[in-house]
Structure formats: structure tokens, C-alpha cells
Amino acid sequence: MLFKGSMPALVTPFRAGKVDEKAFAALVERQIAAGTHGLVVCGTTGEASTLSHEEHQAVVELCVKTAAGRVPVIAGAGSNSTDEAISLLQHAKAVGAHAALVVNPYYNRPTQEGVYAHYKTLTEAVQLPIFLYNVPGRTGSDMQPELIGRLSKLPNVIGIKDASADLNRIARHTALAGKDFIQISGEDGTAVGFNAQGGVGCISVTANVAPYQCAAMQEATLRGDYAEARRLNDTLARLHRAMFLEASPAPAKYALSLLGLCSDEVRLPLVTVQSADVRKEIEAAMKEAGVL
């Protein structure tokens, strides 16, 4: 299977307001060296919502170029505008991304039928594998399992990033979409349990900071060694929590800045980690995970 294991939702490094392409390429190389199974670029953690179209395209292209086929690249291509999502999909396909991650349309809160029509239009417009992305806490709407089953029948819809944190859905998705439908967790804290229920990986924030540990944990689940997976997850649990003590990806960028890998700069309306207590907790969590 091409899409499995630890797949970090990569941050987009900034320096003086501009995308730091040198730092980004170095982060990609670090991930591959750590045994990461795939890369997700220009998603929520990559601050896609504040990238210009030109920046978005440049970062996707840089990721594909740097990875150079060593691991699959999944390009963020979601929008609450169907036409804009088509444009992002066209670019991702043109530069050689292996798949696209398309979020449930946000803000305008379409009905389940509207969501179906959105994805159906995308699959008809661009021939590129698509992962659905259900994250109700950010979009304001929830893709129900019955809708997932319908969407799975569309050409090119190959799986889902599920950030609903509802582990009961995994078996339901399998029943409705089939055993070949690829289910990826979007929640670090429940990733081990997600795989135990039938998932095959995690699109991870924590993996930005602890790529070796996250890759090893995912490898353990994939070979059925859940005792080892739980042991590794125990060392990461504090870091999972720390990554969301302030608005993501500010904590992840602060952690990466401590490692000298990029600036902690984020774009408004996000701000860098403000609380001294949160900074101390991130540092302590990194030490507990063995990365600092």
C-alpha cells in the first residue's frame, strides 16, 4: 500500500514574512531520513489558509521536487469554493503529487448532498487520487458515515483522513466503503486505537517534531505489535497534547525552533506561542519524547 504509516502534516516555515524554502526542503529531508512514510503539504498545519495561491503552488512543487519519489506526497487541495479546489487539484496533478487531501467545505456549511456534489465535481474535473478530510471542529459540518460510503464509490476517492476522534466510525466506514478504502487518522492522541480498529496510519502534527518516534510507532501497529506501539505512544502522549495547547501550528513551530530547524514565525491571525508556561510544557514534552 502506497499510503500508510506516519505522514506528517508539514508546517510551512516562514522568515521575515516569506516562505523559507531552504528550511522547508531541510524539513522534508529530515522526515525522509527519519523513516516517515509519506508527506502532507499545504494542509491546516501548513497554514494553507494564509498562503497566497502562488505560495501554495510553490510549496507543493518544492515538496514533490525535494521528496523526488522517495515517499508519496499528498497535496492539500481543499477549499470552500469548488472552482478553487479544482484549480488546486489541477496544479497538484501537474507537478506530480501522488494524491490530494480535500477538506469538507468549511464556513458555508453545505448539506450532505452539497458535500457529495462538491466531491463528485472534483473527481469529474481532475484525475488524481483524493483523500476526504473530515474535521468537524474546523469546518462546522460533519461528513456522516453514510455519506462516506457514497463518496467512496466515486472514481479517485481512495480514502479518508478522519479527525472526528470518533473511533466507532472506523468499522462503519469499512462496512459502507469496503476494506480497500484507506482510513487515516487525523488525531495523534487516538492514532494507535485508530489503527487497532482498522486504520493504517496517521496524518500527524506531532511527527513534525518527533518523526523517528512517530514512524516507529506506526510501524509497530502495521506489524501488529501493539505492545510496542503503546510503549512508544506513552512517550509521545505529552507531546501530542502540547502541540495543541495554543493554536496549531504555533506549538509545533516553537518546538522546531528549539531544534534549530526553522523560525517559530506564523501568520496572522495566528501568533507565536504566548504563554511562558506553555513554552515550558512543550520543552518538557519534547524531553519526555526524547527529542530535546
Give the dihedral sign, CA 211/217/223/228: positive
Nearest Cα to Cα of residue 250 among 279, 269, 271, 236: 271
Q: E strands of the chain, at which residues? A: 5-8, 14-15, 18-19, 39-41, 73-76, 99-103, 130-134, 157-162, 182-185, 201-204
93 catalytic residue (yes or no): no
**Which listed residue (4, 93, 161, 253) is catalytic?**
161
C-alpha cell at 275: 504563554
Nearest Cα to Cα of residue 125 among 76, 95, 103, 92: 92
161 catalytic residue (yes or no): yes
Amino acid of residue 192: V
Neighbours of 31 (CB within 10 A): 27
**Which listed residue (119, 133, 212, 254) is catalytic?**
133
Neighbours of 282 (CB within 10 A): 27
Which residues are part of the catalytic machinery? 133, 161
